[in-house]
């Protein structure tokens, strides 16, 4: 049986600044080194009720000053 790596996700806030802790790239790299490089990675939502995939084109870099606009929207909500 082949191993599949599933990352269970949850919503924690409306702005990046509302997230208390998230793994660093280094922590993720360390974790992934335990798996064969051909192990598929999936995202799980709603306690595994629905699933998603990880694609290279979906990664985006955010900078400290970019989160400000989301903070303003979150405070208004």
Per-residue pLDDT of the chain (77 residues; tens, 9 = 90+): 689 999 999 999 998 889 999 999 999 999 999 999 999 999 999 989 999 999 999 999 988 776 555 555 556 65
How far apart CA 21 and CA 55 sit, in angstroms, is 23
What range does the domain containing 24 cover?
Answer: 5-76
**pLDDT value of position 9:** 93
Give me the number of domains the chain comprises: 1
Which of helix, strand or coil describes residue 76?
helix
How far apart CA 16 and CA 46 sit, in angstroms, is 20
Residue 44 pairs in a beta bridge with 8, 51
């Amino acid at each position: 049986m082949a191993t599949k790596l599933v990352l269970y996700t949850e919503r924690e806030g409306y702005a990046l600044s509302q997230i208390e802790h998230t793994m660093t790239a280094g922590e993720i790299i360390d974790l992934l080194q335990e798996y064969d490089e051909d192990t598929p990675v999936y995202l799980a939502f709603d306690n595994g009720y629905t699933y998603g995939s990880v694609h290279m084109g979906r990664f985006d870099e955010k900078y400290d000053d970019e989160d400000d606009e989301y903070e303003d929207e979150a405070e208004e909500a």
